[in-house]
Amino acid sequence: MTNMQENIKEVSKQTIKNLFNKQITPTPNEYHKEFCLVAKEYKLNLNECNQFKELVKRLNKEEQQEIKEKKITTFEDLIPVLLNRVATKNLTTLTALFKESISPSISIGLDEKISKFSVKIGNSPALLFEEDIQKEMQNFITERFEADKKVVKEKTAEIAKLVTLMGKHLTEAITSSGESGSEVSNIKDEIQSIKIKDNNAKELTNLQSKLINAAMSIENEMTQVGEKLSSGKNKVKELEAKIKTLEEQLNKSKEESLKDHLTGVLTRRAYEYEAKKIENNFQRNDTQYAIVFIDIDHFKAINDTYGHGGGDMILSTFGKILSKYTRDSDVVGRYGGEEFLVLIHFNLKRELLKYLKRIKGIVNENSFVYKNEKIKITFSAGVTIRNDHTSYDSALQKADMLLYSAKDQGRNKIILENDTVI
């Protein structure tokens, strides 16, 4: 028997003894934990004990800190920590969302870099867990914001330049007119001071000459003023055109940041902003509304059968249906993936039921066409009335529970909190 074997045998004996003294049941997990502690005392460098440390080194800082605080030393105890990570199947969607979240912009120049980075994380979604990749993502977002700010600053500086130029032309025109007016006033004083009874022809001749010169001066000055005002008018038109273009660009950028690029409804962030406004109105004025939590049934199967192109078509068309048949005073948002949220104002519950039946009827009675193939879809939904809950969050959570109850009961159902099923 080798020294290593003898040492391991001693470590094993000591391990069993320690567990007995500590009154710990020698399960495989507890035995492994104590075995590695004893092996360390015997200064045995065993691969089985080092594997755990090597794995921990590959985790991120937050996970390492959690392991340290909870004094985790075995693979079994490590499992709950790893389960907190994003599911791998969702990473592909996450990488696509990252690209779309920073693409709408009034600036250009980063699209090629973003595309290359998106291909990299698209080929290996698990890279999202790497700290370097996360820093690179943050840098992209910062670069995009800075690029947008630069474009807006340049356009604003150009407008300021035009405004300054316009002011200069108007000031010159007003100054020129003022000087001519002063000259006319002096001539008027001279005319009043002439004693007509003297009949001094020389003075009248000189006055006539002054009047002619003054008239010519006024005519020249006013011609120049007209030319300058005409030039200023053209500059104003150019300024108005540039301002209009800038407003259109800024409005387009703002609209793109609020609307989901695929479905045309509000993004989750924009939805949550509008939801707060509706909730505040409810708190102040008791304006009644309902929360409708919607999920398209068997969406994964649609993607598997028709590809992401077919899935995107379904999402896009479904979003258009919700937008078309929901009033402007209400709110429609994409909550994530194939999930949608609608906030509906109503006075009588039959108005709410009429809306829900209409949306379900339109979806059930029509087919979605993709590449000449007709696709039938259904959806499930949970509905709560805000007044029945102490808070918006409570009402939303209950709507989510009713949605999953609808799915458990066979899908293609809308379940209300009073057990009404549509």
Provide the phi-psi class of 130: left if phi over 0, else alpha when psi is between -120 and 50, else beta. Answer: beta
What token pair was written down for 130? 């790497």
**What is the mean pLDDT of the segment spanning 393-411?**
97
pLDDT at 331: 97
Residue-level pLDDT at 165: 52
DSSP state for residue 366 in the 8-state scheme:
S
pLDDT band at 63 (very low <50, low <70, confident <90, very high): confident
**Nearest Cα residue to 411 out of 365, 383, 382, 379:** 379
pLDDT band at 32, cuts 50/70/90? confident
Q: 35-39, 229-233, 381-385: which has the minimum mean pLDDT? A: 229-233
Which strand (E) or helix (H) includes residue 187?
A: helix 131-193
Look at residue 187 in the predicted model and tell me its pLDDT.
Answer: 54
**Tell me, what's the pLDDT at 267?**
93
Q: What percentage of the chain has pLDDT greater than the value 70?
A: 67
What gap in Å lies between CA 331 and CA 271, rounded to an integer?
7
Q: What is the mean pLDDT of the chain?
A: 79
CATH of region 268-416:
3.30.70.270
Mean pLDDT in residue range 208-233:
68
Cα distance between residue 368 and residue 310, in whole Å: 9
Determine the average pLDDT of the residues in 93-111.
Answer: 58
The string of pLDDT tens digits covering residues 126-151 is: 666 677 777 777 777 777 767 767 76
pLDDT of residue 147: 72
The mean per-residue pLDDT over the stretch 353-362 comes to 97
**Residue pair 162/235 in contact by the 8 Å Cβ criterion:** yes
Q: Give the CB-side neighbour count of residue 266, counting CA atoms within 13 A.
A: 18
Domain with CATH 3.30.70.270 in the chain: 268-416
How many CA atoms lie within 13 Å of 310's alpha carbon, on the beta-carbon side? 20
Regarding predicted confidence, which is higher, 305 or 42? 305
Please give the distance of CA 103 from its chain centroid, rounded to a whole number.
Answer: 11
Cβ burial of 35 (10 Å; 0-12, 13-18, 19+) is: buried
Higher per-residue pLDDT: 31 or 284 = 284
pLDDT tier at 237 (50, 70, 90 boundaries)?
confident
Residue type for 318, please? F
Q: Pick from 158, 143, 127: which is nearest to 60 by CA?
A: 127
State CA 233 to chain mean position distance: 40
- In this structure, what are the phi and psi dihedrals at residue 84, rounded to the nearest 5 degrees? -75, -10
Between CA 31 and CA 27 the distance in angstroms is 6
Query: How many Å apart are CA 343 and CA 271, to the nearest integer?
Result: 10
- Top-ranked range on mean pLDDT: pick from 47-61, 211-225, 374-388: 374-388
**Least confident piece of the model among 13-27, 322-336, 351-365:** 13-27
Highest mean pLDDT among 110-124, 238-252, 345-359: 345-359
pLDDT at 36: 84
d(CA 248, CA 254): 10
